[in-house]
Structure 1
Amino acid sequence: MDSARSERTSPSPVYLPEGDQQRLKILVAGPLGIGKTTAIRTLSEIPTLHTDEVMTDAAASADDLTLDGLRGKTTTTVAIDFGRLTVPQAKVVLYLYGTPGQRRFLPLWEDIADGAIGALVLADTRRLDQSFEVMDLVEERGLDYAVAVNTFPTSPGYSLETLRSKLDLDERTPLVTCDVREKNSTLDALIVLTAHLIARAGDEPS
C-alpha cells in the first residue's frame, strides 16, 4: 500500500534533541472520518506518515457513508497515521499513532496498541454511537484514555455534562472539546490526556 506524507511545513527541529528522553506511545483513536489523521498532522513536529487508501465499493458497503460527516469521503486509513511531538521541558517524546476506526481492522489495531500508555479518543456529536465500539476496544486493551469531541462546523453542540451522559463515561475519564485543525486546541486535549495518565499512574499500587 502507498503511504503519504503531510505537505505541511514542519517546524525545526526535525531530529530528536541530544540527551536522554522518555519515549511514550499514545494512540489517537476514533471511528471513521473523525479527524485522527488531521489531529496527528496538526500536532506533529515532523512530516507525518499516513496509509490512506481509496475506499472501494466493498468498503462503502461495510461503512455507512450516508452519515453526517462521511458524505463525500473517498479515502480511509487502513494501517496507521504516525507523528512525533517533543516536550523538551519534560524530556519526553510522544509518538502518536492513529488507528483504523473499524473493528474489521482489529488484528492490526491490537498490534498498533502494543506498548501504548494511553489513548486520545475522538468523537463527533453527529454520531456519538459510533464511539462506543472504539472505547470498548481501548478498554479491552486496558488503556486509560480521554475523550475529545471534535467540533465540526455542522455538529450540534451539547454541554460536557450532557455529552458525558450520552457517552456513558466514567466520572474519572476526562472529556474535552477541541478543533483538531487548531494546534493549541488539539494540544490542550493531549495535555489533558497526559495529566490523566500521570494521575492514574500515581493511583497504581507500588
Structure 2
Amino acid sequence: MRDFKVMFVGCSGSGKTTAIASVSEISTVTTDVTNTDLANYNKEVTTIGLDYGEVTLPGQTNLLRLYGTPGQERFSFMWDILGKGTVGIIFLSDNSRSDPFGELKSYLNAFHSRLTEGNSVAILGIVKTDLAPYPDKNSYEQLLRDMGLSLPVINVDARDPASVMLLLRVMSRHLERSIDNHHEAK
C-alpha cells in the first residue's frame, strides 16, 4: 500500500474544503472560522489553517491523504508548511471569479519550483463552470502552455463525489507514473 500526500490549492471559495469532504472516508478536519472578508469572498466561513481527509480509490490500495490549503494570501505561510512531503498538487480554479486566470497564475507562480523541479505532480480542476462557462478548458490549457506547464485540465464539481473521484483517479495515475519513472531512472 502506498501513501500519497495530495494538496488542494486555490482561492477562497474554490471548493477545496467541499471537495475533500465529499470524498473523505474519515470525518474531515477543518480549521474554518467566520469570514471577515465578505467584500472579497462571499461565504460565511473560510479556512485559515488546513482541511484534512483520507480516501482510498476504488480498486486501488493507494491511500490519498488530502490537505486543503487556505486560499487567502494572508495565510500563505501555511502553503509551505502543508507542502512538506506533498507529492501531488490539485489546483482548483474558480471560473466564477472576476479574474480566474490572474488568480490561477498567482498560485502557479507560488508553487512554480515544486512544479518545475519534479517534486510534485499536478493537475488543474476548473470549478463552477455551471455558473461561468468561460474561460473554457481550452483557454486554460493555452494559459498553462504559455507558462511552460503541462498539466491535465479537468472540469470538476467539488460538491459531487464522483466528479472529485475522477480528479483523484487522474492524480493517482500521474503519481504512479511519476514513481515508476523515478524507479526506472535509478
TM-score by structure 1 length?
A: 0.76
Contact persistence 1:101–1:134 (CA under 8 A):
no
Following superposition, the deviation at residue 194 of structure 1 comes to 1.9
Provide the residue aligned with 1:195 in structure 2: 173
Q: How far apart, in 2, do the equivalents of 1:82 and 1:121 lie? A: 16
Deviations 1:123-153 (A, max 9, x none): 1223231111212222233422100101343
Gaps of 5+ in 1: 1-20
- CA displacement, residues 32-91 of structure 1 (integer Å, 9 cap, x when unaligned): 1100000001110111111011123xxx2xx851xxxx3x32321000001110236432
User: What is residue 32 of structure 2 aligned with on the other side?
Assistant: 52
Indicate conservation of the 8 Å contact 2:57/2:165, yes or no: no
Contact 2:57 / 2:169 at 8 angstroms: preserved in 1? no
- Provide the secondary structure at the position in 1 that maps to 2:111: helix
Show the counterpart of 1:146: 123
Moved more, 93-102 or 124-133: 124-133
Q: Which shifted more, 109-118 or 153-162?
A: 153-162
Q: Find the partner of 2:17 among 5, 30, 37.
A: 37
One-letter code aligned to 2:171: L
Structure 2: give runs of 5+ residues left out of the alignment.
none
Q: Pairwise mapping of residues 86-101 of structure 1 onto structure 2 (< 5 A)?
A: 86-87=56-57, 89-101=59-71
User: Please, which of 98, 101, 105 is the counterpart of residue 132 of structure 1?
Assistant: 105
Q: CA deviation at 1:170?
A: 4.3
Q: Could you tell me which residue of structure 2 aligns to residue 4 of structure 1?
A: none
Once residues 136 and 64 of structure 1 are traced to their aligned partners in structure 2, the CA distance between those partners, rounded to angstroms, is 25
Distance in 2 (alpha carbons) for counterparts of 1:152 and 1:162: 13
2:156: which partner in 1? 178
Q: TM-score, normalized by length of structure 2?
A: 0.83
What secondary structure sits across from 1:192 in the alignment?
A: helix
* Aligned positions, number: 176
Larger Rg: 1
Distance in 2 between the 1:131 and 1:172 partners? 14
Distance 1:73 1:146 in 2: 25
Q: Given the alignment, which residue of 146, 149, 161 partners 2:138?
A: 161
Alignment RMSD (CA, Å): 2.1
List aligned pairs for 1:100-115, cutoff 5 A.
Answer: 100-115=70-85
Distance 1:128 1:22 in 2: 34
CA–CA distance in 1 between the matches of 2:108 and 2:79?
Answer: 13
Displacement of 1:161: 1.8
> Displacement of 1:114 after TM fit?
0.6
User: Are 1:24 and 1:94, in contact at CA under 8 Å, matched by a contact in 2?
Assistant: yes
Closer, same or farther: CA 158–133 of 1 in aligned 2, 3 Å: closer
